[in-house]
């Protein structure tokens, strides 16, 4: 099976009824840039780092930072600088909840994403990087910080450290600390990468680690629907019905990411630890009941412990932790409700 | 941390209130033997195989086959031939539900367990091996077949193929077919072994595969209780709180099992497929609500589709799929209820 065929579902991310133009009209400004700054990393001392950002929407509009999972980038959605689909293509665009005609949308590349920084990073470091980018862009205060998965953890760290710079936080499928079982899964992913590295098969190990990560992002219910075929014997070996799909996910990941970036960002999730009592920003926590990586109980505890008013929005999805990448219509409605405010 | 320390909990399997003598008195007979026979393997043609068996209890007592997971052996419990603890040490012994003073307990090593047979095996092949051992022992009909996990799948295959030789089946945490998500986990485990083999690091890959298997056997709830410590930085690397435990599990596995045995038995689970309508044996299906490898819905479907009377016993356990190795008291009671009969 070809990579495209195995990933057919993944390559058509906008599965809801909402549609957007393939990329925004040139009348919506988009900008890209990078800054060089020194950040005192919590576990690795002060480092001079290059931070890469991309924005859409007029700089005078209410500013919203939008950050995704560890494999997301500053390219949130297609725009006239880059017509390629962004990681949240279905949620950011004309007429959608995150509309660059009404909001100044800001994305960044994660510290460590380029694979050059081989040192422990944590979410507090990422929050400092966001603050440094906002300084460079001249933004004193955000209308909202919308974070999904790792982005939600960074949002919580930002709210705890820079609460005065933030009006509201939307934390989607990310908690204040890692769950020990999820840490076990990630620890194993890193050991699989290390096995590959030991043996000069870095991409092979990285692909298998990504495949294991995919199994933590998705649900048995989805696999039961998609891959309910008898296993096949190829020669004298058994292949599972989902092998093509998972291998395509692994390959696509290794084409874009280095082992160092994966290892350091994976570790960063396990180093994440924010005290919700330090968060004085009004927050919406969005939880998916089927999420096996971030159990509902953790997000319930988070929403109860945040010092400011906090609303827990619970939804069901076959896609578990990855719901934010798949449930387009639901998230559009949730985002509209969560980020609306006097300024919009 | 030492291997023994990391596995402290695992090395003391009898955690219930029930206790048994370290090994049965010599007045309870125990026997061991092997037979050589030709079995027509479903996917690999006819093969001459050596089958290893061990029994406890007088040969005139009602016969009960007792089989465990893919890492279980013919040594079900300590006896005067072998004082080492067996894989079900807490359920088989004087005064327990499976009492060799009252029952003739029969265990076998799985076809493929010795690592010599490098060909696809399935549960129907294992059922034929059980039948061949019963022939050699002169047992026409079993009082009961008690199977846990893989043993339950083999029990279902045996009941479908040799129903006239079986009075009752107790199928614990094993269904009539693999779940696609569990097949995905196993497929990934096999690919991790293959990565190790490619690179002359077979035991390393096998250890990581076993660690992934452990994560499918256990539950987030157990890990949340056992490993709720902050992650540690060792040098510049993050280790998860459960890493010592999982690595000890992996090491112990590689000390006992070969990669070939693991691969072929893992595949065998994915090749397993029994039509419940072909089962005319009264059956007790025991399901654990927290089992992530064999979802409750599968066991419910199984119990509804078996042609003979079938009772579904549902329990809750922090140990998920591994409950049968941990919930000693509960299983003693369930086994008493399930295997009692006129002959006992």
Answer yes or no: is pLDDT of B86 > 70.
yes
**CATH number for the domain formed by residue range(s) A3-8+181-267:** 1.10.1740.110
ipTM surpassing 0.85, yes or no?
yes
Answer yes or no: is pLDDT of B5 > 80.
no
Confidence of residue B342 (pLDDT cuts 50, 70, 90): very low
Q: Which residues of B touch A210 (CB under 8 A)?
A: none
B212 touches A at CB < 8 Å: yes
Strands A283-288 and A310-315: parallel
Q: What pLDDT is stored for residue A107 in this prediction? A: 98
For A29, the token pair is 């400004």
Residue pair B154/B123 in contact (Cβ under 8 Å)? The answer is yes
User: B294: nearest CA in chain A?
Assistant: A220
Q: What pLDDT is stored for residue B17 in this prediction? A: 53
CA distances from B313 to A250, B15, B110, B156, B299 (A): 40, 21, 27, 16, 10
The arithmetic mean of pLDDT across residues B47-71, rounded, is 97
Which of the following CATH numbers is that of domain B13-179+275-338: 3.40.50.300, 3.40.50.1820, 3.40.140.80, 3.40.50.2020?
3.40.50.1820
Of A323, A335, A337, nearest to A15 (Cα)? A323
Look at A2 and B82; give whichever has higher pLDDT: B82
Q: What pLDDT is stored for residue B4 in this prediction? A: 57
For chain B, report the end-to-end CA distance as a whole number of angstroms. Answer: 47
Answer yes or no: is pLDDT of B253 > 70.
yes
Q: What pLDDT is stored for residue A337 in this prediction? A: 95
Average pLDDT taken over every residue of chain B = 92
The pLDDT tens digits of the residues spanning B191-206 come to: 999 999 987 889 999 9
Q: What pLDDT is stored for residue A234 in this prediction? A: 86
Lowest-pLDDT choice from A78-82, A203-207, A233-237? A233-237
Answer yes or no: is pLDDT of B6 > 70.
no
Would residue A173 be called left, alpha or beta, if left means φ above 0 and alpha means ψ between -120 and 50 degrees? left
Confidence of residue B279 (pLDDT cuts 50, 70, 90): very high
Confidence of residue A343 (pLDDT cuts 50, 70, 90): very low
Strands B169-172 and B283-288: parallel
Q: Which residues of A touch B236 (CB under 8 A)?
A: 43-44, 118-120
- DSSP-H helix ranges across chain A: 3-6, 8-11, 123-137, 150-161, 180-198, 202-217, 220-226, 243-256, 259-271, 296-305, 323-326, 328-339
A260 touches B at CB < 8 Å: no
Residue pair A231/A196 in contact (Cβ under 8 Å)? The answer is no
Q: Which residues of B touch A200 (CB under 8 A)?
A: 199
pTM above 0.90, yes or no: yes
Q: What pLDDT is stored for residue B201 in this prediction? A: 87
User: B197: nearest CA in chain A?
Assistant: A199
Average pLDDT taken over every residue of chain A = 92
Q: Tell me where in chain A the CATH 1.10.1740.110 domain(s) lie.
A: 3-8+181-267
Contact: B240, A184; criterion CB under 8 Å: yes
Answer yes or no: is pLDDT of A230 > 90.
no
Q: Tell me where in chain A the CATH 3.40.50.1820 domain(s) lie.
A: 13-179+275-338
The arithmetic mean of pLDDT across residues B276-284, rounded, is 98
List the beta bridge partners of residue B169: B145, B283
Would residue B98 be called left, alpha or beta, if left means φ above 0 and alpha means ψ between -120 and 50 degrees? beta
The arithmetic mean of pLDDT across residues B220-226, rounded, is 95
A 10-39 residues inside an 8 A Cβ radius of B? none
Contact: B192, A192; criterion CB under 8 Å: yes
Max avg pLDDT among A1-10, A173-182, B12-21? A173-182
Confidence of residue A149 (pLDDT cuts 50, 70, 90): very high
């Amino acid at each position: 099976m070809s990579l495209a065929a195995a990933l057919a579902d993944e390559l058509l991310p906008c599965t809801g009824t909402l549609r957007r133009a393939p990329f925004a009209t040139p009348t919506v400004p988009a900008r890209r840039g990078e800054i060089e700054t020194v950040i005192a990393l919590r576990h690795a001392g002060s480092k001079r780092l290059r931070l890469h950002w991309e924005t859409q929407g007029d700089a005078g509009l209410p500013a919203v930072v939008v950050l995704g999972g560890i494999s997301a980038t500053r390219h949130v959605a297609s725009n006239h600088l880059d017509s390629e689909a962004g990681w949240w293509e279905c949620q950011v665009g004309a007429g959608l909840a995150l509309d660059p005609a009404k909001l100044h949308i800001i994305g960044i590349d994660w510290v460590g994403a380029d694979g050059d920084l081989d040192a422990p990073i944590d979410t507090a470091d990422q929050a400092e990087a966001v603050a440094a980018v906002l300084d460079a862009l001249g933004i004193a205060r955000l209308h909202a910080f919308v974070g999904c998965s790792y982005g939600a953890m960074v949002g919580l760290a930002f709210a705890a450290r820079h609460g005065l710079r933030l009006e509201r936080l939307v934390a989607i499928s990310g908690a204040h600390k890692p769950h020990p079982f999820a840490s076990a899964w990630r620890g194993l992913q890193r050991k699989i990468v290390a096995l590959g590295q030991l043996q000069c098969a870095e991409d092979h190990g990285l692909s298998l680690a990504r495949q294991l990560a995919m199994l933590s992002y998705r649900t048995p219910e989805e696999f039961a629907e998609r891959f309910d075929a008898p296993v096949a014997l190829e020669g004298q070996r058994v292949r599972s019905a989902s092998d093509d799909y998972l291998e395509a996910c692994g390959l696509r990941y290794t084409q874009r990411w280095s082992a160092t970036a994966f290892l350091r960002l994976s570790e960063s999730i396990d180093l994440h630890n924010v005290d919700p009592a330090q968060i004085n920003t009004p927050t919406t926590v969005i939880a998916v009941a089927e999420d096996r990586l971030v159990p509902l109980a953790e997000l319930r505890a988070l929403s109860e412990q945040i010092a400011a008013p906090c609303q827990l929005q619970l939804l069901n999805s076959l896609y578990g932790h990855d719901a934010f990448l798949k449930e387009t219509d639901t998230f559009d409605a949730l985002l509209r409700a969560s980020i609306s405010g006097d300024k919009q």
